[in-house]
Structure formats: structure tokens, C-alpha cells
């Protein structure tokens, strides 16, 4: 079938693998690259086209890979450079693509660059990081009021050289200084190193934090204590001089140019930016010459209500009209797993998948989402996550309340538990008798690949059906989208049309955001039910169809 001539990355489906938690091949309770390779057939069979890997580069693992010590080496617990090359080859051999996670903003404080940088004010690497004198007089107070993304000041005093270094995230993740051309050159070369090894794209970690104000001005005050997707202000400061800096936005064009002019122009970058849509749009560049994609995290907290879903679809179309394209992301290694946020129900999870795989945009599926992996409630005090450990002195009951009300957890271990392959002890992630690095989520005995592969009506098989339909039908992977705002259908139904001008073809998508049966009466006869969240897909009556509770359906009408 003709696939049209849009770039592949606009039509693809991305699956995020958190390497530590996917598959352990050595029996030490930690996932690794050979383990991942052994599961590539599963991903190909599921219908995944692109795989993004959270970092597996050499790292002290204080932030499980987001603290890199060597950008061109693989962490020994995950494998070797040869294993990584094998992974790239095996992915390409299955006609899939590979996306690397680039942590450009900061390194580990164990990186030789930082060790050199902190060794002396005169070291050639001093200017590779953001150092500054403390506030006068005395210099024993941070240079200004800048806060890190986590808690308190992002400035850390280094006594031997009597200066402060800046870290946007945790203290052991010092920020690189992108005002230094050597740093820019080195990091672009690092990306080219991985492109030459076969990377098809990059996910860019906290890319909104690359540049800070070069005059080190205080950030303005704000009334906000906690940040949200709509405002990054927190701890009563507005990060005007530390996030989304104009120089950061300009740098997106430099990155785009680097990947577009490499050898094959068909690569992509997706930026991790938590911001309102108008700011996210700026990352794509005024003439589409910035990042190819950004995550729109607005979907993470999307309510399972027709009005809310319609509203978000409209917002995305307004801010990311073609040729721009939004992303659809519902979970990741930092956030509350979607199925637990929406109440744990499989019907709702199927409908959510139907939305993600039929709306215009690039879907990002988080590992285990396809079998309904849940958030595992784990105590903050014993967490492995360094962010949660910052808050370990706060009584657990406060987190429990936040968890219940806001469906948020400070403890990121909860969404990083091992992949659920089967119902055996340790879920097939690592051998029985071994302690997996994080405990299995208790529901793994029912919610796992082996069980669900054999149940035609499982969540896993629902994902497969929608992924397959999306792959073979140009309207679904490359079509325009028209959102129906009329009252032609019941108000709990979200209806949109996907139509592919390039190759022809049109489908109608109906999503029932209610627990009731709902009748749809089409203006013309039904030609075919393409795919449904339930099987058998039926319910056609005359010119209409009966949608069952929380059913999502793609149909072709006789036009």
C-alpha cells in the first residue's frame, strides 16, 4: 500500500524502553541490552516502529543514567559498545528505528570534564560548566535566587575553589556551559557519533534548561508554590532566566541543522519540555526549523471525559497544525502510570489506547502500558529514586494524600518496576530467586504478556489491532484530522475524521467516554468496521451502530 511521502517520523509509533527494567539476561536483577535484544521480536510483532531507550551510557547511576560519565561508552551493567551496535543492527534488521536519549544539559559530577573543571579555577575545563562567585560580601551565599527544578537553590558551593556551580536538576548533575563553543562543539560531535552508529533520532532531556541568563539576574517572584504543565513557576519564583531562554530556543535550530545535514536528512528530535502549548510551539522554530517534535505533557492528566478530550484535540490542532505534528504521551519513567491515573480499568485503558493511536500525532507508548502495568505504591523512605530521597524526611501519609488526590507520586520507582512478561516469580524479567532491582507490581500475575497474548480480548491484543490498523491505513498514520463539534452524536462521544489527501482514504473515529451503551446514527450507510476496542467488533444496525461502554471504534462509511 502507498505510504505517502511524509517523513517516516511523522507516521511512526514510538515505544519507550527503560533499559534497567525491561529484561535481565544475566540474572543480576537489572535489565540489560542483550535482554532487550531478546525481546525485539515481541516489539516488532506488537507493531512498534521506533524504540526510544532511556540512557544506557556509562554513569554512576545516581539518577539511573540521566547522570552521564561518558557519552560514548555503555554502562557495564547494561552491556558493551558491541552489544549496543548489535542492538542497533537488530532493530534495523526488523525495519524498526532507534532513538537515543541525549542528556545535553548536564553531566554526572563524576564525569572527567567536571572533575577537571572543579580541580582549579585555571583548569582548561573550568569554563565547561556554569561557575560563579557567591553574593558579596563574603561570597558565602549563592550568586542569585535561581532555583533548581527539584528543591531550593540550584547553586552548590565548592569550597576548594570558593565558587558556586549551577545544577538545574540534582546537585550531582552540574549544568554544562553552552556559552562555551568547545562545549557546543563536543556535544554536537557526540550526537554525530551516535548518528554515525545508526541512531535515527534523539529524545532531548530537559532541553528547556540549556541556557541561563548571561548576566545572572535574579528570577522574578511568583505566587506559585508548585509547578504545572501550564506554568513552570515554583517555590515562589518564575524561572524567566533559567528556562526557555531565547538562546535555548535559538540553539534548537543549531541542533536541527546538525541532524539534517548529517548524511541522511530523515532523522528526528523530540524535546522534553514541560510548558504550555504556545511555548512548546516556539521549540519547533518559527519556520519549522527547530525541533521536529516536543512532548505535550498536557495529555498526562487528561480526564476521561469527552469534553476534555475534544478540548485537548482542538488545542493541539490549533497550536500544531500540519505540517507540524503533536505527540501523544500518557506515561513515562517520571510520571504516574496512565492506567492507575484513570482508575485501573482495562476498558478505559483500551479506549485511551484507541485515542492515542487514532488521533493525529506521534504516539509514545511507555513499556508495559500495553499490558496495563500499574503504578506500584512504594514508600518514599526506601526509594532508589534520588528525587524521592530528597523528600524522605516528610511523613509518608502526606505523599499518600497527594497520591490519592492528585494522582502524582514523588517516588519515580513506582512507575519503573520490571516489565511483566509472564506470571512466574519475577514475571520473567529476571530468574526466580533473584531480587529484581525494584519489586514487581503485584498485579503482574494477571497483567503480563504471556497471559494476554492468549486472550483475544486482552488489552495487549487491543493495542496490536489498533497498531496494525494504523500501520496499514494512511488516513490513520498520515491523514488530516477534523474534529466534529456538531451535536450529531451523543455528547459523551468524541468523533473525528481522518482523511489522507495524499493517498486518498477516509475513516471516522468514535470514542465512547461513558459507561453506557450509546447509539450512533450515521448519515450514510456503514461500509466497514475497521477496528474496535472490543471483539468481535459488531453492533451495526441499519445506518447506525451501538457503542458499548468505553468502546472506541474506527469505521468506514459509504461516501
CB 317 within 8 A of CB 282: no
**Which of 101, 175, 272, 374 is flagged as catalytic?**
272
Q: Which of 109, 200, 205, 508 is catalytic?
A: 205
Q: Report the DSSP pairing between strands 268-271 and 131-132.
A: unpaired
Using CA atoms, how far residue 509 sits from 208, 320, 432, 498, 547, in Å, is 35, 20, 44, 8, 12
Which C-beta is closer to ligand NOJ: that of 63 or that of 370?
Answer: 63
SS3 136: coil
The DSSP element (H or E) to which 246 belongs, if any, is helix 246-260
Phi-psi region of 539 (alpha: psi -120 to 50; beta: other; left: phi over 0): left
**Minimal distance in Å, beta carbon 181 to ligand NOJ?**
24
Q: Is 314 a known active-site residue? A: no
Closest CB to ligand NOJ among residues 110, 161: 110
In Å, how far from its chain's centre is CA 209? 17
> Is the Cβ–Cβ distance between 258 and 188 less than 8 Å?
yes
Q: Based on CB atoms, which residue is closest to ligand NOJ, 170 or 306?
A: 170
> Smallest distance, Å, CB 169 to ligand NOJ?
4
> How far is 375 from 341, CA to CA, in rounded Å?
9
Q: Which is nearer to ligand NOJ, 240 or 390 (CB)?
A: 390
Minimum gap (Å) between residue 103 Cβ and ligand NOJ: 5
In whole angstroms, the minimum distance from the beta carbon of 167 to ligand NOJ comes to 10
Q: Which is nearer to ligand NOJ, 3 or 392 (CB)?
A: 392
Say which DSSP state 238 is in.
Answer: -
Phi-psi region at 148: left, alpha or beta (left = phi > 0; alpha = psi -120 to 50)? beta
Using the minimum distance from each CB to ligand NOJ, give the nearer residue, 59 or 237.
59
Query: What is the DSSP pairing of strand 201-204 with strand 506-512?
Result: unpaired
Query: Angle 296-7-272 (CA atoms, 0-180°, nearest 5)?
Result: 25
Dist. CA 42–CA 45, nearest whole Å? 5
**Binding site residues, ligand NOJ, CB under 6 A:** 63, 66, 103, 169, 205-206, 272, 333-334
Listed in sequence order, the residues at least 6 apart from 212 whose beta carbon sits closer than 8 Å to its beta carbon are 130, 146, 166, 175, 241, 242, 245
DSSP code string of 440-453: PPGGGGTSSHHHHH
Give the shortest CB-386-to-ligand NOJ separation in angstroms: 8
Nearest partner of 454 among 358, 555, 371, 354, judged by Cα? 371
Cell numbers linked to 383 = 526509594
272 is catalytic: yes
Please state the closest distance from residue 203 (CB atom) to ligand NOJ, in A. 9
**Minimal CA–CA distance to 209: which of 244, 165, 241?**
244
Q: Report the nearest approach of ligand NOJ to the CB of residue 484 (Å).
A: 35
The residue (of 169 and 466) whose beta carbon lies closer to ligand NOJ is: 169
Residues labelled catalytic: 205, 272
Amino acid at each position: 500500500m502507498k505510504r505517502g511521502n511524509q517523513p517516516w517520523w511523522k507516521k511512526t509509533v514510538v515505544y519507550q524502553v527503560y533499559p534497567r527494567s525491561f529484561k535481565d539476561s544475566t540474572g543480576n536483577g537489572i535489565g540489560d541490552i542483550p535482554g532487550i535484544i531478546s525481546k525485539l521480536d515481541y516489539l516488532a510483532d506488537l507493531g512498534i516502529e521506533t524504540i526510544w531507550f532511556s540512557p544506557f551510557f556509562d554513569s554512576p547511576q545516581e539518577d539511573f543514567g540521566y547522570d552521564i560519565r561518558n557519552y560514548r561508552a555503555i554502562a557495564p551493567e547494561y552491556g558493551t559498545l558491541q552489544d549496543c551496535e548489535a542492538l542497533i543492527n537488530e532493530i534495523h534488521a526488523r525495519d524498526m528505528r532507534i532513538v537515543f536519549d541525549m542528556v545535553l544539559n548536564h553531566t554526572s559530577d563524576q564525569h572527567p570534564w567536571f572533575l577537571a573543571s572543579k580541580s582549579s579555577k585555571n583548569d582548561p575545563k573550568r569554563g565547561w560548566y556554569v561557575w560563579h562567585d557567591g553574593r558579596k560580601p563574603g561570597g558565602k551565599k549563592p550568586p542569585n535566587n535561581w532555583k533548581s527544578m527539584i528543591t531550593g537553590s540550584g547553586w552548590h558551593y565548592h569550597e576548594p575553589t570558593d565558587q558556586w556551580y549551577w545544577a538545574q536538576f540534582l546537585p550531582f548533575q552540574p549544568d554544562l556551559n553552552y556559552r562555551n563553543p568547545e562545549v557546543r562543539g563536543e556535544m554536537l560531535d557526540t550526537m554525530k557519533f551516535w548518528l554515525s552508529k545508526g541512531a535515527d533520532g534523539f529524545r532531548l532531556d530537559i532541553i528547556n534548561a540549556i541556557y541561563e541568563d548571561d548576566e545572572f539576574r535574579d528570577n522574578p517572584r511568583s505566587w506559585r508554590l508548585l509547578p504545572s504543565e501550564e506554568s513552570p513557576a515554583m517555590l515562589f519564583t518564575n524561572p524567566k532566566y533559567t528556562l526557555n531562554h531565547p538562546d535555548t530556543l535559538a540553539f534548537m535550530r543549531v541542533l536541527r541543522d546538525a541532524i539534517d545535514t548529517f548524511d541522511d536528512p530523515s532523522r528526528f528530535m523530540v524535546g522534553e519540555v514541560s510548558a504550555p502549548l504556545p511555548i512548546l510551539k516556539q521549540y519547533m522554530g518559527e519556520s519549522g526549523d527547530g525541533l521536529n517534535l516536543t512532548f505535550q505533557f498536557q495529555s498526562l492528566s487528561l480526564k476521561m471525559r469527552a469534553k476534555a478530550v475534544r478540548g485537548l484535540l482542538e488545542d493541539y490542532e490549533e497550536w500544531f497544525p500540519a505540517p507540524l505534528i503533536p505527540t501523544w504521551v500518557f506515561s513515562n519513567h517520571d510520571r504516574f502510570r496512565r492506567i492507575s491515573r484513570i482508575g485501573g480499568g482495562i476498558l478505559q485503558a483500551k479506549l485511551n489506547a484507541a485515542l492515542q493511536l487514532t488521533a493525529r500525532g506521534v504516539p509514545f507508548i511507555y513499556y508495559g502500558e500495553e499490558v496495563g502495568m500499574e503504578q506500584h505504591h512504594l514508600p518514599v523512605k526506601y526509594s532508589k529514586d534520588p528525587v524521592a530521597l530528597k523528600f524522605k524526611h516528610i511523613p509518608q501519609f502526606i505523599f499518600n494524600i497527594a497520591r490519592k488526590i492528585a494522582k502524582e507520586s514523588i517516588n519515580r520507582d513506582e512507575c519503573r518496576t520490571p516489565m511483566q512478561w509472564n506470571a512466574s516469580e519475577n514475571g520473567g524479567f529476571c530468574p526466580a530467586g533473584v531480587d529484581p532491582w525494584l519489586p514487581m507490581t503485584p498485579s503482574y500475575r494477571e497483567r503480563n504478556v504471556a497471559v494476554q497474548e492468549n486472550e483475544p480480548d486482552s488489552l495487549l491484543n487491543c493495542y496490536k489491532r489498533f497498531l496494525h490498523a494504523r500501520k496499514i491505513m494512511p488516513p490513520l498514520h498520515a491523514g488530516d484530522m477534523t474534529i466534529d463539534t456538531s451535536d450529531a452524536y451523543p455528547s459523551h462521544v468524541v468523533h473525528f475524521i481522518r482523511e489522507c489527501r495524499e493517498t486518498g482514504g477516509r475513516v471516522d473515529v468514535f470514542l465512547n467516554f461513558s459507561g453506557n451503551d450509546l447509539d450512533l446514527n450515521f448519515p450514510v450507510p456503514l461500509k466497514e468496521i475497521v477496528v474496535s476496542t472490543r471483539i468481535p467488533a459488531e453492533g451495526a444496525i441499519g445506518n447506525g451502530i451501538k457503542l458499548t461502554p468505553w468502546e472506541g471504534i474506527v469505521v468506514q462509511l459509504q461516501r
